[in-house]
Amino acid sequence: MASELKPEVNAPAPAPALLDLTIDNITPNTIRINSQSPNARLTYLMARLVTHLHDFARETRLSTDEWMAAITFLIGCGQISNDVRNVCGYPVPLCLSAALLTATGIHPAL
């Protein structure tokens, strides 16, 4: 009987309450949806990624066609990746110089 009182380890967390979607709250809504990870660092990184990506889309007035071109590029990279050649793991981040920022310590320490 005591085992019935223990919460199920793999029970999903309750979904966060979402706001009525508008152009003004799409970023906080997306962050709420992505906030379900038990890993606090991953939750933080995803929140920052979503915030920057949404800011980029607003700043550049990114069109649907431009967004789809970027997604098609990333999907194509994934499709040509395999156990020997990981296109998404090396060449794509290299083109964006993100790996250099993390590997060289150019970013300020936290």
Q: Is the pLDDT score of 20 beyond 90? A: no
Q: Of 8-12, 33-37, 89-93, 97-101, give the lowest mean pLDDT range.
A: 8-12
pTM of the model: 0.64
* Conformation bin of residue 55: beta by default, left when phi > 0, alpha when psi is -120 to 50: alpha
Q: Is the pLDDT score of 48 beyond 90? A: yes
Closest C-alpha among 104, 106, 105, 71 to residue 88: 71
